[in-house]
Amino acid sequence: MATIKVRRNGPYVVLDDEVTVIDWNGRAYPVKRRPVALCRCGRSSTRRFCDRTHAQAGFTAEETAPVQTRGEDGEEP
């Protein structure tokens, strides 16, 4: 199973060697490096992939996943 890490103010990073990025027609994009970093700012010159333009553009996105709390029995809700 692939893990996708959301970088603070940066791309989505897919942490798996077995990743294929396909378009809406089912055609695969060539992937030149691992891990795969997918653009989140929309300004990359290598769209769909990150080229670090977000840093120069001042892109900010600091959302985080919700914190899960445990019940009195120690189990997740």
pLDDT average, residue stretch 58-72: 82
For the chain, domains (ranges, CATH) are 1-64 (3.40.5.90)
Q: How far is CA 60 from the centre of its chain?
A: 14
pLDDT band at residue 75, thresholds of 50, 70 and 90? low
User: What pLDDT score was predicted for residue 73?
Assistant: 62
Give the number of other CB atoms < 10 A from CB of residue 36: 23
Confidence of residue 55 (pLDDT cuts 50, 70, 90): very high
CA pair distance 24, 11, nearest whole angstrom: 21
SS3 call for 57: helix
What is the predicted pLDDT for the residue at 17? 85
pLDDT tens sequence across 11-52: 999 998 889 999 999 999 998 889 999 999 999 999 899 999
